[in-house]
């Protein structure tokens, strides 16, 4: 079970130093954005966008006719994102301070981007809500931390749990974080790994939406 109240409190404290603490994952985010294969004019949702590290690049990819919607439940994280956007020339970014579980926006998403958003992936309500506003055929890309399954990985996995303790509120599903997406994207699969396999990139297509959950 994820704990949204705890997450909001944790990110209240993390917001001011978050960007500095994530400098080493720039190449992973970049590969994930490439995997979206965004087209000009599309609408992409940056799920749990945090401080908006990926917003400007997404904005470039969809161009002035497209739209980027960044959603996050932490007001402090989104405030940093707002400042980032206001210092840029981008005019196609909308920011929402809302839980993914109940967020709503105009129109439908052509692409969904889950970048280091483990808690959201493990929330059935969040996935149900966001996919209800997503066009069939949308590309879905997720990138984040995962556990290793090799026999020798114990110490590394302990480090992963310790390092992530303030960045996520559940360790559930950390061996295959993308798995809950299979319900919506049956073809979701890992296409790349990074940092000894402790980070993954998975890609898929939204093809099914089951309404009787
Ligand atoms: C590790 S940060 C990732 C931020 C950003 N995507 C990035 O790549 O830097 C996780 C973010 O998820 C947000 N978050 C966690 N659960 C959420 C939920 N249920 N609804 C909205 N945001 C959520 C947190 O507030 C935090 O900003």
List Cβ neighbours of 121 (8 Å cut-off, separation of 6 or more).
Answer: 114, 127, 142, 144, 173, 177, 178, 180, 181
Query: Does a structural domain hold residue 183?
Result: yes
Q: Is the CB of 33 under 6 A from ligand 1?
A: no
Q: Take atom 20 of ligand 1 and give the residue whose Cα is closest.
A: 99
Query: Does a structural domain hold residue 19?
Result: yes
Supply the pLDDT for residue 208. 78
Q: Is the CB of 184 under 6 A from ligand 1?
A: no
Query: Does a structural domain hold residue 130?
Result: yes
202 forms beta bridges with: 142, 190
């799920």: which residue's tokens?
Answer: 47
Supply the pLDDT for residue 5. 98
Q: Which ligand 1 atom sits nearest the alpha carbon of residue 29? A: 8
Structure tokens at 24: 């080493």
């997503």: which residue's tokens?
Answer: 134
Number of domains composing the chain = 1
CATH number of the domain bearing residue 140:
3.40.50.150
Supply the pLDDT for residue 209. 58
* 54 touches 71 (CB < 8 A): no
Query: Does a structural domain hold residue 209?
Result: no
pTM for this predicted structure:
0.96
Kindly list the distances between the CA atom of residue 90 and the CA atoms of 63, 65, 81, in Å, as whole numbers in the listed order: 9, 11, 12
β-strand pairing of 109-115 with 43-47 = parallel
Cα Rg of the chain (Å, integer): 16
Residue of 93, 25, 103 whose CA lies nearest to 55: 93
Q: Is the CB of 119 under 6 A from ligand 1?
A: yes
Q: Assign residue 148 a region (left: φ > 0; alpha: ψ between -120 and 50; beta: otherwise).
A: beta
Q: 149 C-alpha vs ligand 1 centroid, how far in Å?
A: 25
Query: Does a structural domain hold residue 90?
Result: yes
Q: Is the CB of 169 under 6 A from ligand 1?
A: no
Q: Locate all alpha helices (DSSP H) within the chain, ordered by sequence.
A: 4-21, 26-36, 55-62, 75-86, 118-121, 124-131, 154-163
Mark the ranges of the chain whose per-residue pLDDT is less than 50: 213
Tell me the residue range of the domain where 40 lies.
4-204
Query: Does a structural domain hold residue 16?
Result: yes
Q: 129 C-alpha vs ligand 1 centroid, how far in Å?
A: 16
Cα(first)–Cα(last) distance of the chain, in Å? 18
Query: Does a structural domain hold residue 137?
Result: yes
Query: Does a structural domain hold residue 46?
Result: yes
């Amino acid at each position: 079970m994820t704990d949204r109240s705890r997450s909001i409190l944790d990110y209240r404290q993390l917001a001011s130093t978050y960007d500095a603490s994530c400098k080493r994952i720039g190449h992973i985010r970049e590969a994930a954005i490439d995997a979206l294969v965004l087209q000009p004019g599309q609408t992409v949702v940056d799920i749990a966008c945090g401080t908006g590290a990926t917003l400007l690049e997404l904005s470039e990819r969809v161009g002035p006719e497209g739209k980027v919607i960044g959603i996050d439940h932490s007001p402090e994280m989104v405030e940093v994102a707002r400042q980032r956007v206001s210092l840029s020339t981008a005019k196609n970014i909308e920011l929402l301070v809302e839980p993914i579980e109940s967020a709503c926006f105009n129109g439908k998403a052509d692409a969904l981007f889950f970048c280091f958003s483990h808690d959201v992936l493990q929330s059935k309500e969040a996935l149900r809500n966001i996919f209800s506003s997503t066009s069939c055929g949308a590309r879905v890309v997720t990138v984040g931390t995962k556990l290793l399954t090799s026999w020798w990985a114990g110490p590394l996995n302990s480090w992963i749990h310790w390092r992530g303790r303030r960045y996520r509120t559940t360790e559930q599903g950390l061996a295959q974080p993308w798995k809950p997406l299979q319900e919506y994207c049956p073809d979701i699969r890992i296409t790349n790994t990074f940092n000894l396999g402790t980070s993954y990139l998975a890609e898929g297509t939204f093809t099914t939406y089951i309404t009787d959950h």
